[in-house]
Structure 1
Amino acid sequence: MQATVNATDIVRAIEVWRPQDAGGPFALCSCVYGDDDHIEEGRRLRRFELGEGIVGQSAQTGQPHIRSCEDLIDDGIDLAHSHVVSIPFMHSGQCKGVVLLACDESEGNQGAMELWRPNDRGELGLAEAWHSNLERFGLISKYVKFPRRAGLPGKVWADRFPRVMGSLGTSQQFLRAAGAKAEGLSTGIGIPLMRTAMQLDSVLVLLSANRTPIARAMEVWAMDPDSKKLKIVSADYGAFMDLAPMSRQLSLGIGEGIAVHVLRDCAPWATWDLLGVEFPRGEKFLEYGFRWGLGMPVFVGSEIRAVAVLIN
């Protein structure tokens, strides 16, 4: 337990950019910075029009991208030895927000961000990726293809619904399990990014290692049709297994939790205030050294199908 509590957080920055009106520009709405909080003041002053920078490009096209921060100097993202994924959240053709998630790729830091897109053979192929210190796993991934319902990306594609998968190294459902076990990857989440209610743009996959986690807790929340409250339908807490029972028993209503905040605004949101937001779990999160949370809506057409939550 203690080794995991002291794990290295490789997430250097989380930014949530939201439009100030229906057509933009996009301004920084919420953010999480670890040791790089000195950049916040400058980022708060930035604005991105549709098509401008990685934020504006993702908002305009509805397409996510993975880029080295060294290639984003004009965007003002001054984070050396890092990669960033831009994630747009499209609601009936309108961008409700763009998340920038930046991860440190320094020596020893392991993790992966992947974008899987349909090809002309009706399969998902790897379109863009960042595999930090995972050369063998990254090489294998270039040649893997996923039909519908095959592996984590294929299941997310078929269901048009996000999914968390734990114990990657031993999971029969994770088709790259041998590579994950060899490289120490532990948990993954797949999120569908839809062009329309029926047409997929891509599946975003984030793969986390115990020693250098992108997130130590990954959750998917959806509306329970009977109680009309949000409940967990898929989650993994790694070594923090005692979080699982209390989390799965939660039934979130108005004003409760990251997932409800996202559902209320129909937009992504990041927070440092786990104690204040995640009652009654906040005290446990702080006890285990968790510091931040990120919630992301999963839109299918005009409907929010689920909310994906990362906590670390």
Structure 2
Amino acid sequence: MCLTLPRQLSNAFLCDVRTYDVHDNRCVDNEGESELDRLAIECLQSGTARVVTLQQENAVAALAFPVFRNETIVSIVVLATTAVDQTPGVFEVWSPVGIYEEVALSSGYYGHLARFQNVSSFIRFEKGSGLPGQVWNSLRSIIHNDLANHSGFLRAAGASAGTLETAIGIPVAGENYVASVLLISSNVAPMARGFEIWRADADGGYTLESASYPDPQIELAIGTSMPANSGIPALADEHNGATVTENPTILRSGRQFDEDATPIQGCLAIPFYESDAITSVTVLLF
């Protein structure tokens, strides 16, 4: 399933968002015809996340990461960027290293942000420290806003110089932690119009736990609830894996828009599980 993002957001850092269902340890409907298709297959085979540069005309780099349920990979997510005109934005994968509980940068894409890349390549984060370490510690997605002034974002000076505004850390983990994926978005060319983390509640519904909205037209209040049977979080639960959609009924569910507002035109929804039970859904809105 694929979204080609210029339709959704003309100045977006991302140009392509794909999810691949995995059954019997194979990517469904993926014959490896494109670089992104092949990256998804490699991601499935390795069982971890990676960032690569591309030779495609319409994309210069891509990030792929698996979504686990128990110890089984159920989906692969692939995000690609054109980074037109040195558009700022960052993909990172942080993986455990050495005998201590630390992560180091294992792959990344920084475009023209050489200073930020240089700092990142030399730093390590202990479990619980910095965004990569916090994601490891909680095994939940975490959003940091206003990076230049965020006490928990330890590379704030580099983020400020690169006009980087929002970071979302996403865990790659089955029964054991594998890696932390970071999407670091600028205020010049945001990766999405909104970033949301929905907590799965005991009654089957969902509560908005954390969010960031580069586009305030689509903002929801923290604590907003969604029922178990409608809306974007329910879509991910029903799909049993990561998915994208342009269905306006799903995208509008639980939201009110002003008459002159641009409605949400697409989304990526990524569920996370503890054993077999869904615990949260991470959403990118376009």
Give the alignment's TM-score, normalised by structure 2. 0.87
Aligned pair partner of 2:155 in 144, 165, 176: 176
What is the alpha-carbon distance in structure 1 between the residues aligned to residue 259 and residue 17 of structure 2?
19
Aligned residue in 2 for 1:127: 106
> Aligned pair in 2 of structure 1 residues 83, 252: CA closer, same or farther (>3 Å)?
same
Does the 8 A contact of 1:112 with 1:132 survive in 2? yes
Aligned pair partner of 1:27 in 26, 29, 46: 29
Aligned pair partner of 1:279 in 237, 253, 262: 253
Deviation of 1:81 (Å):
4.4
Aligned residue in 2 for 1:223: 200
Where 1:173 maps in the other structure, the secondary structure is coil
Deviation of 1:298 (Å):
2.0
Does the 8 A contact of 1:218 with 1:311 survive in 2? yes
What is the alpha-carbon distance in structure 2 between the residues aligned to residue 285 and residue 126 of structure 1?
44
Does the 8 A contact of 1:221 with 1:307 survive in 2? yes
Aligned pair partner of 2:213 in 234, 237, 252: 237
> Aligned pair in 2 of structure 1 residues 288, 118: CA closer, same or farther (>3 Å)?
same
What is the alpha-carbon distance in structure 2 between the residues aligned to residue 285 and residue 205 of structure 1?
34
What is the alpha-carbon distance in structure 2 between the residues aligned to residue 284 and residue 85 of structure 1?
34
What is the alpha-carbon distance in structure 1 between the residues aligned to residue 51 and residue 198 of structure 2?
25
Q: Deviations over 1:85-143 (max 9, x none)?
A: 11211222322111111111222311011000111132110000011221111111111
Aligned residue in 2 for 1:294: 268
Q: Deviations over 1:35-91 (max 9, x none)?
A: xxxxxxxxxxx468xxx9322222233211111121xxxxxxx44442111121122
> Aligned pair in 2 of structure 1 residues 259, 285: CA closer, same or farther (>3 Å)?
farther
Does the 8 A contact of 1:66 with 1:85 survive in 2? yes
What is the alpha-carbon distance in structure 2 between the residues aligned to residue 297 and residue 203 of structure 1?
15
Does residue 56 of the first structure (1) align with residue 41 of the second (2)? yes
What is the alpha-carbon distance in structure 1 between the residues aligned to residue 67 and residue 151 of structure 2?
31
Where 1:280 maps in the other structure, the secondary structure is coil
Superposition CA RMSD, Å? 2.5
Does residue 257 of the first structure (1) align with residue 231 of the second (2)? yes
Query: Which one is further off, 88-97 or 280-289?
Result: 280-289
Does the 8 A contact of 2:194 with 2:215 survive in 1? no
Does residue 307 of the first structure (1) align with residue 281 of the second (2)? yes
Where 2:121 maps in the other structure, the secondary structure is helix
Does the 8 A contact of 1:191 with 1:298 survive in 2? no
Q: How many residues align?
A: 275
**Matched AA of 1:103:** T
Does the 8 A contact of 1:111 with 1:131 survive in 2? yes
Give the alignment's TM-score, normalised by structure 1. 0.80
**Matched AA of 1:11:** L
Does the 8 A contact of 1:81 with 1:106 survive in 2? no
Deviation of 1:290 (Å):
4.2
Q: Deviations over 1:16-50 (max 9, x none)?
A: 1113x43435226xxxxxxxxxxxxxxxxx468xx
Does residue 186 of the first structure (1) align with residue 174 of the second (2)? no
Q: Deviations over 1:135-192 (max 9, x none)?
A: 1111111111111111111111111111111111111111111111111111111011
Aligned residue in 2 for 1:39: none
Deviation of 1:216 (Å):
2.5
Aligned residue in 2 for 1:153: 132
**Matched AA of 2:77:** V
What is the alpha-carbon distance in structure 2 between the residues aligned to residue 285 and residue 209 of structure 1?
28
Deviation of 1:292 (Å):
1.8
Aligned 1:15-164 pairs, distance under 5 A: 15-19=18-22, 21-27=23-29, 46=31, 53-70=38-55, 78-120=56-98, 121-164=100-143
> Aligned pair in 2 of structure 1 residues 100, 25: CA closer, same or farther (>3 Å)?
closer
What is the alpha-carbon distance in structure 1 between the residues aligned to residue 10 and residue 254 of structure 2?
24
Aligned residue in 1 for 2:5: none
Does the 8 A contact of 2:218 with 2:257 survive in 1? no
Aligned residue in 2 for 1:267: 241
